[in-house]
Every structure is written in structure tokens, then in C-alpha cells.
Amino acid sequence: MKHLRTTLLGAALAAGTALPAFAQETQVIGVSIPAATHGWAGGMNFHAQEAIDRLEEVYPDLDFVLATASDPSKQVNDIEDMLATRNISALVVLPFESEPLTGPVKAVSDSGAWVTVVDRGLAQEGIEDLYVAGDNSGFGRVSGEYMTEALPDGGQIVALRGIPTTIDNERVEGFEQAIEGSGIEIIDMEHGNWNRDDSFTVMQDFLSKHDQIDAVWASDDDMAVGVLAAIEAAGRDDVQFVLGGAGMKEMIARTRDGDPMIPANVTYPPAMIATAIELTAVGLTSSAPVSGTFTIGSVLVTQDNAEDYYFEDSPF
């Protein structure tokens, strides 16, 4: 998949270089994403703006319109406005929620514009030309494989789930399959909702209920921050490590610097929005075959490769 991404982005640059010779008029790409209401979304906003700034130089005959929304109704209004007043030729959208965004995005598709959906699918299949997302099953599998390596003799762990969604289900199923038969027992599992405060409360409850916890699968770095705070507040020293995920800058730095409590991380990059914008530019300006589904695999981050996943300027 990494090779495919390199090939397609190479095609994007080639198309961008050749575009002025063929372009007849400026085309507009609308980008609609949730506002930076939590860490991962903040990183996504950073990478979206960085990609737009870069691509506006590569593609002088493309214009980009970026709108961020703090709730589904605002996002619906943003998309309707892009269609009505900006005459967009393409839309890149990460839906705040699937159901309320399905109708407005379908209207964009029905207008003849290219549609790229990112991360969260719509309630109706077949609307988008391109779907770009992380590999949630792979995220869980890579996390589980690391857990079995780190606890070769087995152990008792607790797990924090995200918001109840299909994405969360896929992560948990992948994790459970990876640790099956390893001697690792999940003694408790609750939803931390990808939220630091919620996860702090959940971990407090776990610590009060269980005298021995060998490790924690937090399944997200925002949740891992809350988990670590609860462990520190309780003064517990039985927890050997916490495994989060998604590549938060703070956590990647701790892995890079050899913090024994954060020995690894699993990527679910907010930079996938940049990939989606780049590939949309390819689809709009060239004949490169970029429609369909583009899945970004999850990678295990350890001290050896952490520097490659540390983005100093990112808020996440």
C-alpha cells in the first residue's frame, strides 16, 4: 500500500507539472472536516491546511476551499454553501456523523462533482468516487501483536474502547484475535470515548476494582493520557506500560526517548486527510486510476523508528 501511495502521489506531481498546458479554467475543490475539538482532529486540521498550501503551488489551476465544523448541522451548511456559491468540482469530506451528511454529500455527487469521503463512511454506499481511511482492523491487530510480544508469559490487562461505532468494533475485534491463545486476559473493558477525562474516570474505576493490572490497551492516545494520569494519581506501580495509538506528538516523543510506560505506539494518522486531498487533485486533473478504496495501514512505532513519526509543528 505504501508503494501504491508513492506511485499515485508521483502521478499527482507529474500531473501538476503538466497541468498548465491543458487546463482551461480554474476548478474548485471543497474540503469539509470537523473542527479541532480534540487531539486527532487538531492534527487532521493541521495536515489539511498544510496539504492545501502545498498543492496550491503544485496545481495553479486548482482552488481549494477549506471549511471546519463543530457539529453536523454546521458541516451540512458548509457543504450546501460550497455547492451553491463556489461551484465546486470536487469535495473532500470527513463526515462529522454519517447519517446527517449523507444527503448533502449525495447532492454534491448528483451535481457531477467528484466526491472523496475520508475515515467515516456515509449511511448510503456508492456515493463517493474515492474512500480514504485507516485500517481499523489492522490497528487492533498490530496493537494485539505488540501486546503479546511485550507480555510473552501472558498477563492481566484492561482495555479502553472508543466511541461505540463500527470503527471501534473493528479495532477491538482485531485486538482480541491477535491476543487469542497468548495467555493475555482482558479482565475489564469499558468505553473511554476517545476522551481524556472519560478515560481518567474509567481507569480510576479499573484501578479500584483490580489489585493487579499488568498493562493497558488504551486504543487511542487521548485516552492513554487520561489513563496515565489515573495511574499516577493512584500511585500504582504494577502497570508495566500503556499502549495507545494514533501517533500523538507527545506520545511519539515519549516512545522515542525511551519512556518505559510508553514503549510503543500504533499509527492511525490524521495525515490521511492530506492523502485524500492529494488523490482528489489527481482524480480531478489526470486520468490516473484513483477511484475506489484507499486504505492506509497501521504501523508499529517503537524507539527505533519513532523519529519518522514525530511532527514538531503538528498540534497532535
Helix (H) or strand (E) holding 301: strand 300-301
pLDDT band with cut points at 50, 70 and 90 for residue 40: confident
120 pLDDT band (50/70/90 cuts)?
confident
* The three three-digit cell numbers of residue 127, written as one number: 456515493
| Nearest Cα residue to 306 out of 263, 242, 243, 261 | 263
pLDDT at 1 over 60: no
Mean pLDDT of 97-119: 94
Q: At what angle do helices 196-209 and 221-234 cross, to 10 degrees?
A: 40
Residue with the bigger pLDDT between 6 and 286: it is 286
Decide if 64 contacts 91 (C-beta within 8 A).
Answer: no
Q: Spell out the domains of the chain, with CATH numbers in brackets.
A: 2-134+269-296 (3.40.50.2300), 136-266 (3.40.50.2300)
All three cell numbers of 164: 461505540
Least confidently predicted of 110-119, 137-146, 285-294: 285-294
Mean of pLDDT values over 119-124: 86
Angle among Cα 48, 51, 56 to the nearest 5 degrees reads 125
pLDDT per residue as tens digits for the range 139-159: 999 999 999 999 999 999 999
For residues 115-127, average pLDDT: 91
DSSP assignments along 233-258, one per residue: HHT-----EEE--S--HHHHHHHHTT
Mean pLDDT on 186-200: 94
Percent of the chain exceeding pLDDT 90 equals: 75
Per-residue CA distances from 82 to 30, 32, 61, 75, 280 (Å): 7, 9, 18, 11, 16
How high does pLDDT run on average in the chain? Answer: 90
Between CA 271 and CA 296 the distance in angstroms is 10
Q: What is the mean pLDDT of residues 264-279?
A: 94
C-alpha cell at 114: 467528484
**Residue range 104-128: average pLDDT?**
94
Residue 123 has pLDDT above 90, yes or no: no
Instruction: Give the strand pairing for 265-266 and 300-301.
Output: antiparallel
Interval 161-175: pLDDT, tens: 988 777 788 899 999
Task: Give pLDDT, residue 22.
Answer: 42
CA atoms within a 13 Å half-sphere pointing along the CA-CB vector of 137 = 2
Q: How many CB atoms lie within 10 A of CB 33?
A: 25
- Segment 65-81, tens digit of pLDDT: 999 999 999 999 999 99
Confidence of residue 11 (pLDDT cuts 50, 70, 90): very low
What pLDDT is attached to residue 289?
80
pLDDT at 193: 87
Q: How confident is the model at residue 4 (pLDDT cuts 50, 70, 90)?
A: very low
- Cβ neighbours of residue 111 under 8 Å, at least 6 residues apart? 83
Confidence of residue 233 (pLDDT cuts 50, 70, 90): very high
**Residue 169 zone, left/alpha/beta (φ > 0; ψ -120 to 50; rest):** alpha
Sign of torsion over alpha carbons 196, 201, 204, 210: negative
- Sequence-distant (≥ 6) Cβ neighbours of residue 50 within 8 angstroms: 274
Cβ contacts of 171 within 8 Å, gap of 6 or more: 136, 137, 139, 140, 143, 161, 162, 219
121 or 181: which leads in pLDDT: 181
Q: What are phi and psi of 164, to 5 degrees?
A: -60, 100
pLDDT at 173: 97
pLDDT for the residue 129: 95
